[in-house]
Structure 1
Amino acid sequence: MKFIRIILLPIVPIYYIVTWMRNWLYDRGFKSSKSYDLPIICVGNLSTGGTGKTPMIEYLIRLLNEKKSVATLSRGYKRITKGFVLGDEKATADSIGDEPFQFLRKFEKIKVAVDENRQNGIEQLMLLNDKPDLILLDDAYQHRKVRAGFNILLTSFNNLYYKDIVLPTGNLREPRSGAKRADVVVVTKCPKDISTIMKERIASSIKLKPKQQLFFSYIDYAEKVISKYNHLVLNELPKFTLVTGIANAKPLVDFLTNKGLSFDHIEFTDHYSFRLNDIELLSEKELIITTEKDYVRLSSHESLEKTLYYLPIRLKLDNSSNFNNSINTYVN
Structure 2
Amino acid sequence: MMKINVVLLPLALLYDLATRIRNYLYLHNVLKVFHPPVKTIAIGNLSMGGSGKTPVAEYLIRLLSEEFGNIAYLSRGYKRKSKGFVIAGDEINYRNIGDEAFQVYRKFPNVTIMVSNNRKEAIEYFSEKTENQGLIILDDALQHRQVRCGLNILLTSYHRPYFQDFIFPAGSLRESKKYASLPDIILITKCPPSLSQKQQDDFLSKIRPLPHQSVFFTFLRYLPLYPAFSHENIDLQSLRNFHIITFTGIADTRPLEEYLNSVCKKVIPVKFQDHKEFCKKNIQRVAETFEHCQAEKKIIVTTEKDFSRIKGLETEKYLENLPLFILPVETAFYGNTGNLFKQKILDYVGKN
Q: Normalised by the size of structure 2, how large is the TM-score?
A: 0.89
The corresponding residue for 1:201 is 202
**Does the residue aligned with 2:309 lie in a helix, a strand or coil?**
helix
Inter-partner Cα distance in structure 2 for 1:151 and 1:8: 31
Report the CA distance between 1:97 and its aligned residue.
1.0
The corresponding residue for 2:177 is 176
Contact 1:59–1:314 (Cα < 8 Å) also in 2: yes
How many residues align? The count is: 332
Inter-partner Cα distance in structure 2 for 1:127 and 1:276: 43
Report the CA distance between 1:302 and its aligned residue.
1.4
Report the CA distance between 1:143 and its aligned residue.
0.6
Range with greater deviation from structure 2 (93-102 or 151-160): 93-102
> Which residue, 240, 244, 254 being the options, matches 1:240?
244
**Does the residue aligned with 1:8 lie in a helix, a strand or coil?**
helix
**Does the residue aligned with 1:24 lie in a helix, a strand or coil?**
helix
The corresponding residue for 1:254 is 258
Q: 1:8-87 residue pairs with structure 2 within 5 A?
A: 8-68=8-68, 69-87=70-88
Which residue type is aligned with residue 312 of structure 1? P
**Does the residue aligned with 2:136 lie in a helix, a strand or coil?**
strand
| CA 1:106–1:132: 2 relative to 1, 3 Å | farther
Report the CA distance between 1:275 and its aligned residue.
1.8
The corresponding residue for 2:136 is 135
Report the CA distance between 1:47 and its aligned residue.
0.4
Report the CA distance between 1:130 and its aligned residue.
7.8
Inter-partner Cα distance in structure 2 for 1:4 and 1:194: 27
Inter-partner Cα distance in structure 2 for 1:44 and 1:231: 34
Contact 1:151–1:183 (Cα < 8 Å) also in 2: yes
The corresponding residue for 1:191 is 192
Contact 2:51–2:157 (Cα < 8 Å) also in 1: yes
Report the CA distance between 1:299 and its aligned residue.
3.5
Contact 2:41–2:153 (Cα < 8 Å) also in 1: yes
| CA 1:303–1:275: 2 relative to 1, 3 Å | closer
Contact 2:165–2:172 (Cα < 8 Å) also in 1: yes
RMSD: 2.0
The answer as to 2:134 corresponding to 1:119 is: no
Report the CA distance between 1:12 and its aligned residue.
1.9
Contact 2:2–2:160 (Cα < 8 Å) also in 1: no
The corresponding residue for 2:212 is 211
Report the CA distance between 1:132 and its aligned residue.
6.2
Contact 2:48–2:172 (Cα < 8 Å) also in 1: yes
Contact 1:71–1:132 (Cα < 8 Å) also in 2: no
Report the CA distance between 1:223 and its aligned residue.
3.4
| CA 1:35–1:131: 2 relative to 1, 3 Å | closer
Range with greater deviation from structure 2 (25-34 or 141-150): 25-34
> Which residue, 274, 298, 313 being the options, matches 1:270?
274
Which residue type is aligned with residue 45 of structure 2? N
The answer as to 2:343 corresponding to 1:325 is: yes
Range with greater deviation from structure 2 (11-20 or 176-185): 11-20
The corresponding residue for 1:298 is 310
Q: 1:156-175 residue pairs with structure 2 within 5 A?
A: 156-175=157-176
For each residue in 1:112-163, what CA deviation from the matched residue of structure 2 results, as whole angstroms up to 9, or x when unmatched?
1111111111112223368761000001110111100000000000011111
| CA 1:288–1:298: 2 relative to 1, 3 Å | farther
Which residue type is aligned with residue 301 of structure 2? I
Inter-partner Cα distance in structure 2 for 1:4 and 1:329: 40
Report the CA distance between 1:92 and its aligned residue.
0.7
Percent identity over the alignment is 38
Q: Normalised by the size of structure 1, how large is the TM-score?
A: 0.94
Inter-partner Cα distance in structure 1 for 2:3 and 2:199: 32
Contact 1:223–1:235 (Cα < 8 Å) also in 2: no
Inter-partner Cα distance in structure 2 for 1:20 and 1:86: 33
Q: Which runs of 5+ in 1 are unaligned?
A: none
